[in-house]
Structure 1
Amino acid sequence: MQVMSHGQFADPAVEARFQETARTLRLPFVRVYGVLFMLVALAYTIANPMFVSHEDTAKLAIYFGCMLILAGTYIGATFWPGYVSRPGVDFAALLGIVFLLGHINLVLFDELIDLQEEMHAVGVMNRLSVSAFAAVALASRPRLFLLWLALDVVVFLSTVLAVQSHGAGLWYALLSYMSGAMIMIAINFAIDRSSRGAFALAEALEAERAKNEALVYNMLPHAAVERIRDGRVVADSYADASVIFIDMVGFTRLAQRVSPGHLVELLNNFFNHADRCAAEHGVEKVKTIGDAYLAIAGGNVVSGNSADAAIAFARAVLDGVGELQRIAGTDVGLRVGIHSGPVVGGVIGATRMAYDYWGETVNMAARLESTAPVNGIAISESTWLRTTDRAAFGPPHDEMLKGVGETCVYHAAPAAGVADLTAVSRVA
């Protein structure tokens, strides 16, 4: 929940967002209230000639005309984009309306009561209708509403004191007015509190929803999430993708030499580094398998040339081997295998869902990784034919791959400046 301070949200940004949201949601009610008020004013204008003298009818027509123009302008202002951020528009318009209303009541009472009866303080056209209007329009600004009420009292007293003695009529009118004002304050406060509570709850729910959505999008591609929400099967075919398989050399031996905490730190740094490189080169992380990292170029993440993107990603990951060696405090190496071809991707199962890729291309990349030099890259002929950057790869040679047979493979030399790990390679 959002923290409150002195009746407002402690965070100014949250308070500003609440003000904008609350005023936007109240816009339809403010407009309807304004139209209803104009209709009431029109009804008085139609009825006046039947009961009021010609002289006062002309005077009332001016007052009601000004009121209708002011109310209409106020309603029109609510359609202005800057209205939501300017509560002063409500304040000024409603204060002007209540000022005109006070003068209208004086004229009407001059017509309805005997000249000997001093009852000007009692309104014919109810002032509380405008107060209720202000209580709603300024609900999220209780201090501004209290200031408006205070000025309304000043307008009320300045209007009636000139024509009303300080007798029982005035005091009863003041009691009536103040009791109504207290009710309007309570309404204004209740709307403000309930609005803030609802907004804080909505903000908390939205934050939780955003976190959950971020977790979902971290596990699944956006397009896959939309299809799952619609109840559709998520199955895709990619004709030209490049699969990258990266494995840590001598991990089993390393696990026997270092503490579990140290090992987890090393893996975490490796995977985080690979994630950053994947984001930089437009490569999609598929999953981690033990100490291995599986990624794909040309799958859900669009890339111009999947082979070029895959090789650039692999080189960026290998550039971080020096830092991994520093963290491990010992020689650490990586091997990379890349193969290009068709793959099938999709989401299976109903629990712990993940978007995965299958096919011979994935299997071949894993087999190629085992032939790569330590801190080097092994690519298939298929990838070599697709890439535009062949200079770093040596001449082709045949490798016997398990379950595949003899395969034409191209190797890239280990990254410059990385420690010689020939011994590690022999025991991996």
Structure 2
Amino acid sequence: MAASQQRFADPATERAFLRAERSERGGAIRALIVLAALTLISYILINPMHLPRDGVVAYSAAAGTLILLMAGFFALTRTDIYLDRPWLDLPVFVLLAAAMTWLALVLAGLAAYTGFPAHVMAMVQMAILVVFASVGFAGTFRLFLLWSFALFALFAAWLFTRDNVSEISRVYTLTNFSTFFVFALYFNWDTERRARKVFAANQALEAERAKTEALLYNVLPQEVAARLKAGEAVADAFSDVTVVFVDLVDFSRLAKRLSPGHLVELLNGVFSAADRCAERHGLEKVKTIGDAYLAVAGGMASRDAGSRAAIAFSADLIEELGGMANERGLPLQARIGVHTGPVVGGVIGSHRLAYDYWGDTMNIASRLQGAAPPNGIAVSEATYFQTQALLAYEARALVLKGIGETDVYVASLSRA
């Protein structure tokens, strides 16, 4: 946006700016209206002590009309109509200018009593109006420019048709009015220019904040992110979470055959497939550890998922890996361990934040994957009883490292 244009290129942005600026400027406008009304009322009260009755009546009528118009403007600034229709500034100030002109002419007729020459009194009233308008035209500098030049031309025409005013007095009066006029123009232009710059900066800041939040929500569940932003320590207990631990078979041997770039590309394909499967079945990806993939069902971001979803995810992922193996001509197989039990979840540290899970349930799932055959699933007894209708399991009594003898249920999904 060029400063000289005083307008945003995008219509939606322009509308948003005008609404925000007019809402912000409304308080200052209403404060000036109250001050102006109190000033006029004070003159109405003291005029009977100094002016003839006809002058008091004429002044009170003109001032009263001006006060009523300003009261209407006061009420208008509190409505959505005012916020959404900036063109209203022009008719509002045309009416105010008409009322102020009436008041100026009344005062000009009372010059013998006030001691101020008529043209000087008129100049003062018009200058006051122009200064007020420099605040009142909120976000509408072009309209203010049109209105103020019209008012200046009318005042100049009136001034040079006045009798009994010397040439030097006309020049000085017009010069003084021009000073107010130029000041008001600059004030309105610069106020709007600064407001537009602040609005543009705030929009850019809001866009960056939205990007940051989107990235944060991509790493952490929204509820967790909100708690962290509020300064809370995040620690949760879950009584029934199904943990899925996926490990690629003979990945170290495969890594020796592939270049680093090819290896990373392959892992990205595998984990992207796992992410798609997790999204389809409502699981929550926790993290990757080397060539292993860890997910949970029933945790912070997967409360609606359970052990059945975990088994469906596992079968789906084995199917996906089989397709990748055929496509790439590589022996891609996985062992998957699944266990259901209590875990603790939370966020620790202050850098590279992630919502993680801890507890024996995690360790058991890890040990179970070692008991699974290639392209197979090994589950604990707790998971077996919840999912026995989904797969044909073979019961085995195995000794798992760090756990001891355990009943393990194995399902083989090996592809021919």
TM over 0.5: yes
Q: Contact between 2:111 and 2:118, CA under 8 Å: does it hold in 1?
A: no
Give distance in 2, aligned partners of 1:289 and 1:99. 78
Instruction: Name the structure 2 match of 1:146.
Output: 145
Residue type at the aligned position of 1:301 = A
Instruction: Name the structure 1 match of 2:314.
Output: 314
Q: Contact between 1:249 and 1:335, CA under 8 Å: does it hold in 2?
A: yes
Residue type at the aligned position of 1:210 = A
Task: Output the aligned Cα RMSD.
Answer: 3.2
Trace 1:63-74 onto structure 2 (pairs within 5 A): 63-74=62-73
Instruction: Name the structure 2 match of 1:45.
Output: 44
Distance 1:121 1:99, change over 3 A: farther
Deviation (angstroms), 1:396: 3.5
Distance 1:161 1:345, change over 3 A: same
Deviation (angstroms), 1:355: 2.4
Query: What SS does the corresponding residue of 1:127 show, helix, strand or coil?
Result: helix
Instruction: Name the structure 2 match of 1:425.
Output: none
Deviation (angstroms), 1:110: 0.7
Give distance in 2, aligned partners of 1:17 and 1:209. 18
Distance 1:369 1:105, change over 3 A: same
Residue type at the aligned position of 2:360 = E
Give distance in 2, aligned partners of 1:195 and 1:180. 22
Deviation (angstroms), 1:341: 0.5
Deviation (angstroms), 1:106: 0.9
Give distance in 2, aligned partners of 1:367 and 1:159. 97
Query: What SS does the corresponding residue of 1:330 show, helix, strand or coil?
Result: coil
Query: What SS does the corresponding residue of 2:337 show, helix, strand or coil?
Result: strand
Query: What SS does the corresponding residue of 1:378 show, helix, strand or coil?
Result: strand
Trace 1:29-428 onto structure 2 (pairs within 5 A): 29-113=28-112, 119-120=118-119, 122-123=121-122, 126-157=125-156, 168=167, 169-229=169-229, 231-321=231-321, 324-325=324-325, 328-387=328-387, 390-400=388-398, 401-414=400-413, 420=416
Give distance in 2, aligned partners of 1:38 and 1:327. 83
Q: After alignment, is 183-192 or 213-222 more displaced?
A: 213-222
Query: What SS does the corresponding residue of 1:103 show, helix, strand or coil?
Result: helix
Q: Contact between 1:245 and 1:294, CA under 8 Å: does it hold in 2?
A: yes
Higher helix content, 1 or 2: 2
Give distance in 2, aligned partners of 1:167 and 1:9. 47
Give distance in 2, aligned partners of 1:204 and 1:96. 39
Give distance in 2, aligned partners of 1:244 and 1:94. 71
Instruction: Name the structure 2 match of 1:423.
Output: none
Size of the aligned set, in residue pairs, is 413
**Percent identity at matched positions?**
39
Where does structure 1 lack aligned partners over 5 or more consecutive residues?
421-428
Query: What SS does the corresponding residue of 2:84 show, helix, strand or coil?
Result: coil
Give distance in 1, aligned partners of 2:259 and 2:286. 28
Give distance in 2, aligned partners of 1:144 and 1:10. 18
Deviation (angstroms), 1:134: 2.3
Distance 1:278 1:37, change over 3 A: farther
Distance 1:85 1:250, change over 3 A: farther
Residue type at the aligned position of 1:238 = F
Residue type at the aligned position of 1:243 = V
Give distance in 2, aligned partners of 1:279 and 1:22. 43
Deviation (angstroms), 1:135: 1.9
Q: Contact between 2:347 and 2:354, CA under 8 Å: does it hold in 1?
A: yes
Residue type at the aligned position of 2:107 = L
Q: After alignment, is 359-368 or 153-162 more displaced?
A: 153-162
Query: What SS does the corresponding residue of 2:81 show, helix, strand or coil?
Result: coil
Give distance in 2, aligned partners of 1:218 and 1:174. 65
TM-score by length of 1: 0.83
Residues 8-49 of structure 1, C-alpha deviation per residue, up to 9 Å, x if partnerless?
Answer: 344444433333332222222122122212222222322333
Residue type at the aligned position of 2:368 = L
Distance 1:76 1:396, change over 3 A: same
Query: What SS does the corresponding residue of 2:110 show, helix, strand or coil?
Result: helix
Give distance in 2, aligned partners of 1:36 and 1:315. 76
Q: Contact between 2:369 and 2:378, CA under 8 Å: does it hold in 1?
A: yes
Give distance in 1, aligned partners of 2:329 and 2:34. 77
Q: Contact between 2:141 and 2:188, CA under 8 Å: does it hold in 1?
A: yes
Q: Contact between 1:336 and 1:376, CA under 8 Å: does it hold in 2?
A: yes
Give distance in 1, aligned partners of 2:100 and 2:288. 74
Distance 1:76 1:269, change over 3 A: farther
Deviation (angstroms), 1:147: 1.7
Query: What SS does the corresponding residue of 1:120 show, helix, strand or coil?
Result: helix
Give distance in 2, aligned partners of 1:82 and 1:365. 63
Residue type at the aligned position of 1:293 = Y
